[in-house]
Amino acid sequence: MPLTPTAFYADHLAQLHRLLLEHRIAKAHLSGTGIRLDGNDLGLDDRFDLPFGELSTLEFAHLFCVFDGSRVHQQAEKFPSRDDAPPGLYFTVINSKIIRNQHKNRTGLISEAVGETDLFIEALHVDHFFLNEQNTPRSLGTIAFTLCSITAHLAGLAHISLVAAGGVGFNPRHVGYKVWPRLGFDAALLPGETHGVLHLEACQTVQDVIAIDGAWWDAHGSQRLMAFDLAVASRSWQKLIPYVREKVLAESTL
Amino acid sequence: MTKQATALNKREQAFKSSTKARTARVFSISLKGIPQLDTSAKARLEAAARDPAGKRRDYPQLTIE
């Protein structure tokens, strides 16, 4: 069964989705063409039968950030990986032009228990994501992530998680702890993290802090597992939608 | 006239045979057999993400304006 749009999608995401699909960068790099999945050359009329519905090749490419001309390998991981990624069904994307040298992007579909109940939700985990900045337009990463998140919302997934790296006490060459929250990723603060900082003492999450004092987070924040909440009208969407409109669509020539 | 018509027919036949040979496929993607992430496993992954001595060298990176 094809993906079913929500009312939130119709009201808040559909126009953005259409503009991104028509964007010259998406047409050049995220059109679902030239993809080889485990030895099969994909056609745009192929379909993907997933637990939550049926995806077209284009939707599959957007959900797992598969750039045109990529080779893709599917791997079932039954245990946490050596990089501490959760068990899941991962898609490794190899593309020597788009992805930074020696890297392979890797995104997986995971199933996560809801508290201590028997209920579970399905979600995405981004294990690796690196673009070759010299060979790619500067908005490609943001466009790829936005198409991924919109497709994941349409698929009914709950969230997208990743490790936002760097910050105080961590490798200084990583800046993910500053960058991913700008696109809507969030996480709980650590116990006592803002203790003694009067204007931030009531904050409970990274986004709470950023809403009051983004400079404080840039200077004092640090690495952790973060998630983009795909639920209707979430705080994550409230960050991502205006960001993409301002930074990607406003200054681009479609 | 005849030559041109023949060439066109060949191109048309080639197009028809190439489109005929390509049949849409359905790829099944299942989470069967993959364990769910429970609260204790998630807590371990959250702790691992906070480990400054972790052996992992690279993390998801994105350049934005």
Q: What is the pLDDT of residues A82-92, one digit of tens each?
A: 778 999 999 99
Considering the domain boundaries, does residue A189 fall inside one?
A: no
Q: CA dist A132 to A59, A225, A252, B37, Å?
A: 23, 24, 20, 32
Q: Is the pLDDT of residue A186 over 70?
A: yes
What does the alpha-carbon distance between residue A171 and residue A178 come to, in Å, rounded to a whole number? 13
Residue range(s) defining the domain that contains residue A150: 1-158
Interface test with B, best of A163, A190, A218, A248 (most B CBs within 10 A): A163
Q: Please state the pTM of the whole predicted model.
A: 0.91
Q: Say what the pLDDT of residue A129 is.
A: 95
Contact criterion met (CB < 8 Å) for B39 and A165: no
Lowest mean pLDDT among A36-45, A81-90, A177-186: A81-90
Considering the domain boundaries, does residue A36 fall inside one?
A: yes
**Positive or negative torsion for Cα A234, A239, A240, A241:** positive
Q: Is A229 on the interface with B (CB under 8 A)?
A: no
Q: What are phi and psi of A139, to 5 degrees?
A: -90, 0
Lowest mean pLDDT among A50-59, A124-133, A242-251, B1-10: B1-10
Considering the domain boundaries, does residue A253 fall inside one?
A: no
Q: Is A138 on the interface with B (CB under 8 A)?
A: yes
What are A8-40's pLDDT values in tens digits? 999 999 999 999 999 999 999 999 999 999 999
Residues 30-49 of A with CB under 8 A from B: 37, 40, 43, 45-49
Considering the domain boundaries, does residue A228 fall inside one?
A: no
Can you tell me the ipTM of this complex? 0.87
Give the sheet arrangement for strand A40-41, strand by strand. Answer: A40-41, A36-37, A71-77, A88-94, A105-113, A120-128, A159-167, A222-229
Q: What is the number of domains present in chain A?
A: 1
Nearest-Cα residue of chain A relative to residue B58: A128
* A163 SS3 class: strand
Indicate the average pLDDT of chain A: 94
Considering the domain boundaries, does residue A31 fall inside one?
A: yes
Considering the domain boundaries, does residue A37 fall inside one?
A: yes
Q: Say what the pLDDT of residue A244 is.
A: 96
Considering the domain boundaries, does residue A116 fall inside one?
A: yes
| pLDDT confidence tier of residue A252, bands split at 50, 70 and 90 | low
